[in-house]
Structure 1
Amino acid sequence: MKRLYRSSLIILSTAIIAACGTFGKDVDETKDWTATQLYDAARESVRGSEWKSARRYLAAVESRNPYSSYAQQALIDLAYVNWKDNEPEQATTVINRFLSLYPNHPGTDYMLYLKGMVTFTPPSAFLSSYTGQDPSERDPKGLRQSYAAFKELVERYPESRYANDARQRLIWLVSTIADNEANVAQYYYSRQAYIAAINRSQTILREFSGVQAAERALFIMMKSYEALDMPDQATDAKRILDQNFPDSKYYKYGLEGPRSWTDWFSPRSWFR
């Protein structure tokens, strides 16, 4: 009897453990869904801004139907979902994967546009005026990534529906990146690192044509050459500055520029 009781207890315990394991597992309600059903569910989640569920459905579409048209579209939508869900690194990873797998896909122009948008930092008049932070004072890595993506888009797909918007963003990006280079050049000049200041200024003149930052770059070059006791080079820089900016404000105000009464409302001016 004891042996029978012990055997029954073991069998019962095993059954209970097995049942617990079964109930503890998440049931995948999509396991028998078709690609169409998965994709429709993903689109519905996107429309409701339910990014987590959209991501799950799209991942299932791609993993269960690799290299199909559904998988290709799922990657496009997954990049968008990651961007909207404030996951720029994941979005960029998906975009790069798509461009590697399907370089000639009809949606390549959109993916390049989205890649530019992921790291694009738009100007904000309100925030800039209140905080005093200019986009050119931020880390330029993201701006350069946006520039590269938008530039590739307009060069490869000049007639794309996204090309005109990309061109407008490129204008702002070129100006902002050049301003960032000028900020770095001015920083080096203020630290008496005159050679570094000259090199940064030359980068602006060489890589960015027609930008306002060229005025500051030329002035920094002129002053740096003067500090290095290189009068011929300083004269050349001044000549080019006068030709392109005959009424340069830097002659009158220097690199700091004129102070406005609105500066007192900018937090960055409180500790000058």
Structure 2
Amino acid sequence: MINRIGKRAFAIVFTVSLLGLGACSSAPDEEDIQRVPNKSAQALYEDAKQTLDSGLYARAIELLSAIDSRYPFGPMSKQVQLDLVFAHYQAGNTEQALATIDRFIRLNPNHKDLDYMYYMRGLVNIKADENAFQEYFGVDRADRDANRTRVAFTDLSTLVNRFPDSGYAPEAKRRLVWLLNKMARYELKVADYYYEREAYLAAANRGKYVVEHYSQSSYLDEALEMMEKSYEKLGLPELSKHARMTRELNKNK
């Protein structure tokens, strides 16, 4: 069963599910759950599994939530929660997915699938930070607040550091590189905003922040350039010169 979940989780990294984007829904309420047929936990799970595999995420969430509510201590309760996270993620219910993940981590601190939960927490926070349609049509949103991005970075860093041998670690590392660049890009967008409004000290400090915290990103040269020109505007030639020399040294590496 876990292998099925693992394959499903890796699939969502490399494909954009338009069905998932179109199936956004809120979590089912008690009335929805009550309408689920009164079957055994195993029978309900078989229905939920088939529904989930068919991409009918809203219905799968109803079925899984019914199992979770009616059989909270059953033998498949952990598996139900794993599937609920995936279903909520695909349906775009990021807050419900995060709540399920956090509850699972809190109640099962030593569970064998904890790496999967941190991996999914990172992906959910990434999705929560994105406007799918604007991203799809190529609208530049790098100037948005990067808080969710930072949380996703922490989630995936936790996975890599605590579970280095996890099957999810290689993809998490690739995501971390992307997130690092995204955070650095955000800081430089803000720096550009300040520079255009002649707030040169604030612009220089944003560039400095990228140098100090995101030196492994692909935006190091741009950050140093921002520092160089901002310090020049501030009448600080030595600091401007130092930023320029650092840029040149990095280019020659």
TM-score range, shorter chain: 0.7 to 0.9
Q: Distance in 2 between matches of 1:234 and 1:171?
A: 29
Q: Determine the structure 2 residue equivalent to 1:30.
A: 37
> Structure 1 residues 153 and 69 mapped into 2: Cα distance closer, same or farther (>3 Å)?
farther
Q: Is the 8 A contact 1:201 1:218 kept in 2?
A: yes
Distance 2:212 2:34 in 1: 61
1:172-191 residue pairs with structure 2 within 5 A?
A: 172-191=178-197
Corresponding residue SS for 1:119: helix
Query: 1:140, 1:90 → 2: CA distance?
Result: 21
Is 1:243 aligned with 2:242?
A: no
Matched, 1:195 2:201: yes
Give 2:70's match in structure 1, choosing from 64, 67, 73: 64
1:163 aligns with 2:169: yes
Measure the CA separation in 2 of the matches of 1:221 and 1:29.
61
Check 1:129–1:114 CA distance in 2 against 1; reply closer, same or farther (3 A cut): closer
Residue 235 of structure 1: how far off its partner (Å):
2.0
Equivalent residues in 2 for 1:218-229, closer than 5 Å: 218-229=224-235
Would the aligned equivalents of 2:142 and 2:186 in 1 still touch at CA under 8 Å?
yes
Where does structure 1 lack aligned partners over 5 or more consecutive residues? 1-25, 247-272
Q: How far 1:139 moved relative to its partner?
A: 4.1
Tell me which of the two structures has the higher relative contact order, counting C-alpha pairs closer than 8 angstroms and 6 or more residues apart. 2
Q: Distance in 1 between matches of 2:34 and 2:152?
A: 41
Post-superposition offset of 1:135: 5.6
Specify which of 211, 214, 223 is matched with residue 205 of structure 1: 211
- Counterparts of 2:182 and 2:151, CA distance in 1: 13
Paired residue type of 1:57: L
Q: Report the Cα distance in structure 2 between the residues aligned to 1:237 and 1:83, rounded to whole angstroms.
A: 43
Distance (whole Å) between structure 1 residues aligned to residue 137 and residue 40 of structure 2: 52
The offset of 1:164, in angstroms, is 0.7
1:149 pairs with 2:155: yes
State the 1:76 CA deviation. 1.1
1: distance between equivalents of 2:40 and 2:102? 27
- Alpha carbons of structure 1 residues 29 and 221: separation in structure 2 relative to 1, 3 Å: closer
Letter in 1 for 2:37: T
Query: In structure 2, how many angstroms separate the alpha carbons of the residues matched to 1:212 and 1:87?
Result: 32
Rg larger in structure: 1
Residue equivalent to 1:48? 54
Which deviations, in whole Å up to 9, do the C-alpha atoms of 1:81-123 show, x marking residues without a partner? Answer: 1111122222122111211121211111111111122233699
User: What residue in structure 2 maps to residue 215 of structure 1?
Assistant: 221
Choose the corresponding residue for 2:86, options 80, 83, 108. Answer: 80
* Contact 1:62–1:72 (8 Å) recurs in 2: no
TM-score by length of 1: 0.71
Cα distance change on mapping 1:225 and 1:56 into 2, 3 Å: same
User: Is the Cα contact below 8 Å between 2:123 and 2:152 reproduced in 1?
Assistant: yes
| 1:211 Cα offset (Å) | 2.2
Residues 195-231 of structure 1 show CA distances to partners (whole Å, capped at 9, x for unaligned) of: 2112211111111123221111111111111111122
| Aligned-residue identity in percent | 33
Shift of residue 69 of structure 1? 3.7
Secondary structure (helix, strand or coil) at the match of 2:76 reads: helix
